[in-house]
Copies of this chain bind each other. A is one copy, B any other.
Amino acid sequence: MVDHPSSDAEAAHAEVELSTVRLQEVAEAAGVSTITVSRCINNPARVSEKTREHVLKIANRMGYIPNRLASSLASARSMVIGVVVPTIANPIHGMVLQGAADILEPAGYQVLLGNSHFSKQSEFELVRTFLGHRVDGILLTGRDHLEECLDLLARSRTPMVEMFDYNPEPSDMAVGSSNFDAGASLGQYLIARGRRQFAYVGHTGLDDSRMIARLQGLIKVCEAAGLAPPRHYEISSDPGTGTGGEVVGTILRDVPEIDAVVFAGHQVAVGAIRYSVDVGIAVPQRLAIAGFGDSPIAKWITPSLTTVRFPVRENGIEAGKLMLWRLQGKQCKQRSIRLGFEILGRDSA
């Protein structure tokens, strides 16, 4: 082994070294300028086929991995999209995220993840962090955000999509089903089947406007039908764990006239069915139980859960598409996409 300063020949063998090969080293090894190497990777059309092949072969052999930090800094495009979900432990949001990632990743974008834990304040801080990373776009869950957060977003001119709730006048873009309408439809369904006295069970401490919108829809149809407004209960269990169904016991003890309980989610509704069966509350004869959101368990529990199905994955997909359109300058399409929902009338109500 001769001990000489690094030469082109050596550089070409650097594949066994650290993957800290720089653009410049590739350029030297290939006998071209740095910008040519850059173009071979980002703008192949603007380089002759011959040089391109030559350069790419060398880059490959050297194990060159472009430094996207430097690239993003210089070009002001990070190819990263920040996504804020309340939690990924809940499969619903996992699927939204999956939908968005399935659109964005093939387009060359990476997803930077943030969990708001259902807190608008945390959401705001995540947005700040994302802007620090100079993300090219941001996906938020729901339509209810801190004003400062929307302000910041607007001033930074970062494209933003609100997912999972219909919003006809989004601050930027939005996609989702109307949770108000979903609540109203479910209420109508129950009323049509003879229910007269409702309870609604939400979750304490969660900044989740969707759950509130569902209740408001329910309230509206109660009013319209001349019924008493639903009694509002809140439980502190984490939605998604499926615990907290025992609340139906409390409800019936409080207000025995109640003949229908609507849960803000579906997991807890299933838990409530299970609890009711265990303690001998006849579902649906004595008590109707319904929820929002669907899953295999909702279908397979006995009695099966009457619930509202939302096109979950589509939310992420459409949000991703909206974002891509904007990023590619095609601002032609609508800014707000309304998705539907479906009342799944099963055995529990």
A301 contact from B133, B156, B301, Cβ within 8 A? B301
Closest to A15 in B: B155
- Residues in B neighbouring A332, C-beta threshold 8 A: none
Q: Which of A79-121 contact B (CB under 8 A)?
A: 80, 87-91, 93-95, 97-98, 101-102, 105, 110-115
Q: Is the CB of A68 within 8 A of B132?
A: yes
Q: Are A296 and B297 in contact (CB under 8 A)?
A: yes
Any B CB within 8 A of the CB of A129 = yes
B87 close to A98 (CB less than 8 A)? yes
Residue of B nearest to A99 (CB): B89
A161 within 8 Å of B (CB atoms) = no
Please, how many residues of chain A have a CB less than 8 angstroms from a CB on the other chain?
58
Whether B114 lies near A112 (C-beta < 8 A) is: no
Instruction: Evaluate contact between B94 and A88: CB separation under 8 angstroms.
Output: yes
Write out the residue numbers on chain B whose beta carbons fall within 8 Å of the beta carbon of A241.
296
Q: Is A3 an interface residue (CB 8 A)?
A: no
Mask: chain A, 53-88; 1 = CB below 8 Å from B; 0 = not: 000000000010111111011000010100000011
Binds B, one of A16-24, A168-176, A184-192: A16-24
B129 and A19 form a contact (CB under 8 A): no
A89-B91 in contact (CB<8A)? yes
Q: How far is the CA of A132 from the CA of B18 in the complex (A)?
A: 13
Contact (Cβ within 8 A) A89 B98: yes
Contacts A114-B105, A296-B270, A302-B302 hold; do A89 and B78 have CB atoms under 8 A apart?
no
Instruction: Determine if A88 and B78 form an interchain contact, defined as CB atoms under 8 angstroms apart.
Output: no
Given known pairs A73-B69, A73-B70, A102-B115, the reply for A19 and B300 (CB within 8 Å) is no
Evaluate whether A155 and B63 lie within 8 angstroms (CB atoms) in the complex, with A68-B132, A98-B115, A301-B301 already known.
yes
A131 close to chain B: CB less than 8 A: yes
Q: Is A183 an interface residue (CB 8 A)?
A: no
Q: Is A295 part of the contact surface with B, judged by Cβ < 8 Å? A: yes
By a CB distance below 8 angstroms, the chain B residues around A267 are: 296
B residues in contact with A19, CB < 8 Å: 131, 152, 155-156
- Contact present for A296 and B313 (CB under 8 Å): no
Give me 6 other A-B pairs in contact (C-beta within 8 A), A88-B88, A105-B114, A270-B296 excluded: A18-B155, A20-B156, A73-B73, A88-B95, A89-B91, A302-B302
